[in-house]
Amino acid sequence: MENATEEGTALTADVLVIGFGKGGKTVAHAMTDAGRRVIMVEQSDQMYGGTCPNVGCVPTKMLVHYSNEKRLEDSAQEFFANSIAGVRALTSAFRAGNYASLDGKDTATVITGAASFVDPHTVAIGEGADRITVSATTILINTGSEAILPDIPGLANSRHLVSSTDLIQHDRLPERLVIIGGGYLGLEFASIYRHFGTEVTVIEAADRLLPREDEDIAEVATEILAGDGIRIITNAGVVDVRDEGDASFITYEHDGETKTVQADAILAATGRRPVTGALRLDAAGVRTTARGAVEVDEHLRTSQPHIYALGDVNGGPQFTYVSLDDARIVLDQLLGDGIRTTTDRVAVPHTLFITPPLATAGLTEREARSQGRHITVSRERVADIVAMPRAYTVEETRGVMKFIVDADTDLILGAAILSIDAQEIINTVTLAMRHGITATQLRDSIYTHPSSTEALNEVFDKVVAR
CB-based burial of residue 308 (10 Å sphere; 0-12 exposed, 13-18 middle, 19+ buried)? buried
DSSP state for residue 43 in the 8-state scheme? S
Quote the distance between the C-alpha of residue 286 and its chain's center. 26
**Known catalytic residue at 449:** yes
Length of the chain in terms of residues written: 466
* 136 phi/psi in degrees, rounded to 5: -145, 155
Measured between its terminal Cα atoms, the distance across the chain in Å is 68
Among candidate residues 65, 254, 306, 449, the one labeled active-site is 449
Q: Residues near 427 by Cβ (< 8 Å), separated by ≥ 6?
A: 349
Q: Which of 421, 269, 443, 451 is nearest to 359 (CA)?
A: 421
Contact (Cβ atoms closer than 8 angstroms) between residue 266 and residue 162: yes
Distance CA 13, CA 7 (A): 19
Contact (Cβ atoms closer than 8 angstroms) between residue 38 and residue 14: yes
Q: Residues near 89 by Cβ (< 8 Å), separated by ≥ 6?
A: none
Distance CA 442, CA 433 (A): 10
Q: Indicate the helix (H) or strand (E) that contains 34.
A: none
Quote the distance between the C-alpha of residue 37 and its chain's center. 31
Q: Residues near 163 by Cβ (< 8 Å), separated by ≥ 6?
A: 147, 267
SS3 assignment, position 423? helix
Instruction: Say how many CA atoms lie within 13 Å of 226 toward its Cβ.
Output: 12
Contact (Cβ atoms closer than 8 angstroms) between residue 304 and residue 117: no
Strands (E), 245-304: 247-254, 257-263, 265-268, 272-274
Distance CA 227, CA 355 (A): 11
Sign of the four-CA dihedral 81, 83, 86, 87: negative
SS3 assignment, position 407? coil
Radius of gyration of the CA atoms of the chain, in A: 24
Catalytic residues: 449
